[in-house]
């Protein structure tokens, strides 16, 4: 948002920009009323590129309306949805509770630098309080009908810790709309892969147990002080999440008692039927472990204040500005129209750092998105196409390479690298493709002849269409389709 702060934004006064994420700007703000009333809160303003997307706005409003019904001590409260009309177009925003403290991601990162870590009882306390908020949302009803709210994005940056020792989870209902908005035309979904469940990363329908798994990842990392599903590239992370292989926590931290390890591994079971059926069951099991303490809220608040003393800011944060008293309770531009907010790309914390926006690049790389091609190599066209792909790979492998300014590359190598596509089965196209894949696999498993099972396996190729060979190969793929 252009212009100096503070500035008026609908019925709110923006005081300080806290952070900029991929989909929204986050501001500390105030609202004013009669007799000197004022209240601090957070404004999450959707970036203009998404506010102009009617489908995203519609989905976001639907999800945000559900999230606004949540009122629980372990859930960040949503106060308001609206939009402010400007010459450049409508600006949608969400007004939400301001939590004085830090998010878990910053706390773990800074604590590791100082070799100061959450104790085992503190880590279990954070997980239990998070599970309480999740269970409340999972079981919400409207007139007796289940709302079926699933968070989908339980990760350290969405777990907020206050100086008073409160634990709150943020951005309920946001992840679903954002996942749909970030899907490419062929159904691929992008997200924080390292905190997804196996069923989420493979595009299956989700229920509350996916949030239990994600909370288990967060607890695992607090207890072991290490990443669970780490990888150098996305495809490596996806493979590890999909396989669901979890190293025993006690191998990484022998101080973890066996009873706690048993509960954690059940939260992280690859088969969702082997997990706790609800967040409440997981919370009860953690409460029964030998490290549980009912008095960790105060020690947690002290730990947050020790790592991040109140009033301090991380490097790069904007200096605080005092707001000028605005006109009392100015009218909203559209009080009857709720608006959306951004996903977990930026946190709702008061002291979060500002992430500079990247300048626009003049030249985009030749590969702008990932596409997945499923080849029927039993057909003549598919077999010919497979041969060309293998020949291109061979050129890459045989390309001469030298160190220094005279580095040589294969000019005709159209295949740059392999990546994995995740289907968004909530879209009609994604659901239809998933059904075809499952049907083909079933036919193969039943011994169907090759002609009856055209889909043998999934292979992903990313083409450099700026090369002649890549452009020609792309034309053949399109013609085959």
Task: List C-alpha distances in Å: 43 to 115, 137, 461.
Answer: 34, 22, 41
Instruction: List the beta bridge partners of residue 168.
Output: 160
Q: Is 28 helix (H, G, I), strand (E, B) or coil?
A: strand
| β-sheet bridge partners, residue 81 | 94
pLDDT in tens, the chain (481 residues): 667 889 899 999 999 998 887 677 889 999 998 888 999 999 988 887 787 788 778 777 777 787 888 999 999 999 988 888 877 778 888 899 999 999 999 999 999 999 999 999 999 999 999 999 999 999 998 888 888 889 999 999 899 999 999 999 998 866 565 555 554 333 434 348 899 999 999 999 999 999 999 999 999 999 999 999 998 888 999 999 999 999 999 999 999 999 999 999 999 999 999 999 999 999 999 999 999 999 999 999 999 999 999 876 644 445 444 444 343 333 333 333 333 333 333 334 443 333 333 344 444 343 334 444 455 556 666 666 667 767 766 665 555 544 444 434 444 444 444 444 556 666 666 666 777 777 777 776 676 654 444 444 444 455 566 666 666 666 766 666 6
DSSP bridge pairs for 44: 26, 94
Active site residue 166: no
Other CB atoms closer than 10 Å to residue 120's CB: what's the count? Answer: 20
Rounded Cα–Cα distance for residues 303 and 389 (Å) = 55
Q: Which of the residues 80, 82, 103, 153 is marked catalytic?
A: 153
Three-state secondary structure of 345-367: CCCCECCCCCCCCCCCCCCCCCC
- The answer to whether 479 and 381 are in contact (CB under 8 A) is no
């Amino acid at each position: 948002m252009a212009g100096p702060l503070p500035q008026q934004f609908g019925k709110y006064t923006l005081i300080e920009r806290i952070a900029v994420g991929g989909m929204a700007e986050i501001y500390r703000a105030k609202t004013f009323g009669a007799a000197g009333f004022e209240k601090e809160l957070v404004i999450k303003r959707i970036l203009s590129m998404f506010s102009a997307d009617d489908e995203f706005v519609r989905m976001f409003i639907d999800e945000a309306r559900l999230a606004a019904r949540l009122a629980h001590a372990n859930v960040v409260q949503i106060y308001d949805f609206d939009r402010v009309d400007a010459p450049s177009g409508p600006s949608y925003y969400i007004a939400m509770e301001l939590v004085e403290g830090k998010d878990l991601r910053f706390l773990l990162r800074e604590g590791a630098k100082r070799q100061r870590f959450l104790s085992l009882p503190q880590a279990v306390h954070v997980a239990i309080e998070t599970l309480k908020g999740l269970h409340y949302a999972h079981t919400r009803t409207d007139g007796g009908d289940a709302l079926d709210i699933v968070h989908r994005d339980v990760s350290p940056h969405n777990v907020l810790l206050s100086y008073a020792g409160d634990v709150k989870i943020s951005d309920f209902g946001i992840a679903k709309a954002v996942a749909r908005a970030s899907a490419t035309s062929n159904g691929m979904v992008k997200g924080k892969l390292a905190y997804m469940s196996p069923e989420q990363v493979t595009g299956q329908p989700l229920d509350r147990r996916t949030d239990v798994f994600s909370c288990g990842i967060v607890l695992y990392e607090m207890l072991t002080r290490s990443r669970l599903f780490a990888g150098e590239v996305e495809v490596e992370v996806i493979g590890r999440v999909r396989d669901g292989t979890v190293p025993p926590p006690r191998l990484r931290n022998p101080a973890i008692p066996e009873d706690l390890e048993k509960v954690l591994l059940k939260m992280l079971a690859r088969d969702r039927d082997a997990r706790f059926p609800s967040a409440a069951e997981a919370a009860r099991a953690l409460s029964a472990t030998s490290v549980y303490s009912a008095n960790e809220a105060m020690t947690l608040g002290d730990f947050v204040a020790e790592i991040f003393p109140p009033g301090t800011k991380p490097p790069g944060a904007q200096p605080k500005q005092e707001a000028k008293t605005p006109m009392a309770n100015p009218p909203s531009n559209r009080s009857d129209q709720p608006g959306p907010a951004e996903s977990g790309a930026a946190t709702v914390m008061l002291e979060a750092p500002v992430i500079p926006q990247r300048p626009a690049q003049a030249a985009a790389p030749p590969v702008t998105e990932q596409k997945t091609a499923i080849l029927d190599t039993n057909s003549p066209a598919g077999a010919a196409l497979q041969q060309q792909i293998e020949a291109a790979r061979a050129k890459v492998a045989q390309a001469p390479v030298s160190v220094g300014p005279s580095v040589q590359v294969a000019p005709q190598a159209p295949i740059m690298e392999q990546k994995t596509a995740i289907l968004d089965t909530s879209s009609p196209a994604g659901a239809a493709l998933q059904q075809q894949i499952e049907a083909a696999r079933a036919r193969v498993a039943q011994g169907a002849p090759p002609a009856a099972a055209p889909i043998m396996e999934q292979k992903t190729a990313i083409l450099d269409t700026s090369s002649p060979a890549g452009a020609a190969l792309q034309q053949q793929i399109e013609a085959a389709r």
